Structure 1
Amino acid sequence: MTDAFVDFFLRNKFVILFYLAVVLFVFLNRKKFNFYFKIIALYRTNWGIKLMDKLAEKYREPIKLFGYISIGVGFIGMFFIVFVLIQSIYTLFTTPNAPPALTPILPGVHVPGVPESLFIPLVKGIIAIFIVAVIHEFSHGVVARAHNLTIKRTGIAIIGPFFAAFVEPDEKELKKRDDITNYSMVAAGPVSNIVTFFILFLLISFAVSPVINSIYSPSGISFSSITDDSPAANAGLQTDVTYTMINNQSVTSLADFLRAFENIKPNDVMSISNSENTYFVETGTNPDDNTRAYLGVNIYNRLAGDTTTSFKIVSWFTSLLSLIGILSLGIGIANLLPIGPLDGGKMLQQALHKIRGEKKGNKTLVHLSLFFLLVILLLLTPIFRETAKSIFGIS
């Protein structure tokens, strides 16, 4: 138990120091923060309010239209995430060793039980979450201002180990407005994140990647991560090493690798090589499809010249954009969950008040919130179990 505990903290020492520094910063500046439930710290400012006013004044009708469209998209997203959660519960109980359907967003932390491909680097993660949160909350605020609702304050929130942002509309004014105004302001936040994902996806796919590929030619494939105790790990394959041959076939790109891998079955022995070494890998069975082979790797293209400083800078910013896009989609959809404090919960509360009245509507929302919180806890049990193993050596 002691060895596992020490090993966990050594692997995450810089991240632990970072979060301790955040706690120390909040403690030293505690008079500037407002605290709720002892784990929520809010730093209130007026940042961004003038910009919201300018945009709302100049583009009032387009912003209102975005808010109205967000209502429909928001409810569709709510039904989608509910469907995904229910399906994930079914998978949890019917598919042994299925990958976790949910994972906490903890930059810099190698969360036990979560595939290494989902690891979020500390610096990129903090930057990406900040940008996603700013877009989310700014969208709430600018739609509110387009409807002439007062924004009292904006600010930064620290909720345990998580970072967030917030805007504070005048709640008294909000209660006097019609349902459509309320819906549009609430839905604008998560929908703006979903829109951000699609914008960045198109930008990277049709602008950034083609430019990079036109400058740097493919030279092989590498593995960004290798799952512990997987066929690839047991064969001695390494991350960030260039490989150019699969079963004696030349491989210069991910597409080449996938074509070569199509003909390989579970328990086949395949060779993966470069100019220096050849590795023989006995493939496993894909956990999602027992007819397909499994290596336990995440693959990316290697490009000639990708060790230069200029390429590393371009690659870093490209991966940051990718991370912003992925987190935008995940956080946007997650915020549409029908759980009390989330945007989806606020939208559902508004609808339930209309359908069942305020008292019965609130009661129904509490029951639904508790149900979905239980679902989330169940989906996180594989991670809790692996975390206990990693920290305390509990099997």
Structure 2
Amino acid sequence: MVIYLCLLVLAAGWLLIYMILRGVFSRESLGNFKLYPLAFVLRSRKAIEFFDKVVDRSPLFLTVLSNIGVAIGFGLTAFSIYFLAKNLGTYLFAPQQVGPQNIVVPLIIGVTIKLEHLPYILLALGIVLITHEGMHGLVARLEKIRLKSTGFFLAFIFPGGFVEPDEEEFNKAPPKTKMRVAAAGSFA
């Protein structure tokens, strides 16, 4: 129950800060930082310069890696469909065999995971976000697709990251390029 009270206080504080910034300063953004009622977005272009340096140093390695990522992406998609279909079949036609190994459980702090585990989960999530979005950015720059920005966001307590490619350039790119960019994040 304490965790829910903490989340409620966090939400109330966040809304208060948002209303003060919006009411007193008549603005929701400060440079690359944009505040929403229960979220914020921080954009940066510095990571794009880093992506360009890495791509300039090892284009062949990244090309091979992105091609392997496409192949593995198709394989993992097939495996995922098989795995989920098999579990659905077990659930529908042999419910007596359903056990903890067949259930997908959402991560809910205080319900399905202990609060003590939260720092480890956030650390793992941070590593995954950086590598996942970083690979999308590296392969996009390798394929000469312009990136508008990269960034980080927090939607209440849920962190996220993004790499924002130029949509026109991405849509005009050949299918092989699109597959490389899309598969890169999952392969990371």
Partner residue of 2:178? 182
Matches within 5 A, 1:203-222: none
Distance 1:25 1:60 in 2: 48
- Whole-Å Cα distance in 1 between the matches of residues 69 and 12 of structure 2? 38
- How many pairs were matched up? 175
Q: How does 1:314-329 map to 2 (within 5 A)?
A: none
Higher helix share: 2
My pick for the range that moved more, 71-80 or 41-50, is 41-50
Contact 2:11/2:156, CA 8 A, preserved across alignment: no
CA deviation digits over 1:223-278, x for unaligned, max 9?
A: xxxxxxxxxxxxxxxxxxxxxxxxxxxxxxxxxxxxxxxxxxxxxxxxxxxxxxxx
Q: CA deviation at 1:171?
A: 1.1
SS in 1 for 2:42: strand
Q: Which amino acid aligns with 1:111?
A: V
For 1:309-388, what aligned pairs fall within 5 Å after superposition? none
Aligned residue type for 1:166: F
Q: Report the TM-score when normalising by structure 2.
A: 0.77
Q: Is the 8 A contact 2:59 2:142 kept in 1?
A: yes
Of 10, 17, 20 in structure 1, the residue corresponding to residue 11 of structure 2 is 20
Report the Cα offset of residue 91 of structure 1.
2.8
Superposed CA offset, 1:278-333 (max 9, x none): xxxxxxxxxxxxxxxxxxxxxxxxxxxxxxxxxxxxxxxxxxxxxxxxxxxxxxxx
Change (3 A) 1:111 1:95: farther
Aligned CA distance change for structure 1 residues 125 and 88 (closer, same or farther; 3 Å): same
Unaligned runs of at least 5 residues, structure 2: 22-27
* Alignment match, 2:103: 101
Provide the secondary structure at the position in 2 that maps to 1:33: strand
RMSD (Å), alpha carbons: 3.1
Q: Judging changes above 3 Å, is the alpha-carbon distance between structure 1 residues 48 and 120 closer, same or farther for their aligned structure 2 residues?
A: farther
SS in 2 for 1:121: helix
Which residue of structure 1 lines up, in the alignment, with residue 24 of structure 2? none
Measured in 2, the distance between the counterparts of 1:103 and 1:18 equals 27
- C-alpha deviation, 1:140, in angstroms: 0.3
Quote the offset at 1:82 in angstroms.
1.5
In structure 1, what is the equivalent of residue 147 of structure 2? Answer: 151
> Deviation per CA, 1:69-121, whole angstroms, max 9, x where unpaired?
11111111111111222222223333356226323245xx1335xxx6x9871
Larger RCO of the pair (alpha carbons < 8 Å, separation 6+)? 2
User: SS at the partner of 1:88?
Assistant: helix
Displacement after TM superposition at 1:155 (Å): 0.8
Normalising by the residue count of structure 1, what TM-score does the alignment of the two structures yield? 0.39
Deviations 1:162-209 (A, max 9, x none): 2210001111111221111110011000111xxxxxxxxxxxxxxxxx
Are residue 139 (structure 1) and residue 135 (structure 2) matched? Answer: yes
Aligned to 2:57: 58
Instruction: Within 5 Å, give how 1:224-239 maps onto structure 2.
Output: none
Report the identity percentage: 25
Shift in Å, 1:13: 4.7
Q: Structure 1 residue 169 and structure 2 residue 165: aligned?
A: yes
Which of residues 109, 115, 122 is equivalent to 2:118?
Answer: 122
TM-superposed CA distance for 1:25, in Å, is 8.8
> Structure 1's 152 and 43: CA in aligned 2 closer, same or farther, altered over 3 A?
same
Kept after mapping to 2: 8 A contact 1:49/1:154: yes
Q: Is 1:84–2:83 an aligned residue pair?
A: yes
8 Å contact 1:26–1:33 — kept in the other structure?
no
Q: Are residues 14 and 67 of structure 1, via their aligned partners in 2, closer, same or farther at CA, if it must alter by over 3 Å?
A: farther
Consecutive unaligned residues in structure 1, runs of 5 or more:
1-8, 193-395
Q: Which has the larger radius of gyration?
A: 1
Structure 2 distance, partners of 1:189, 1:167, is: 10
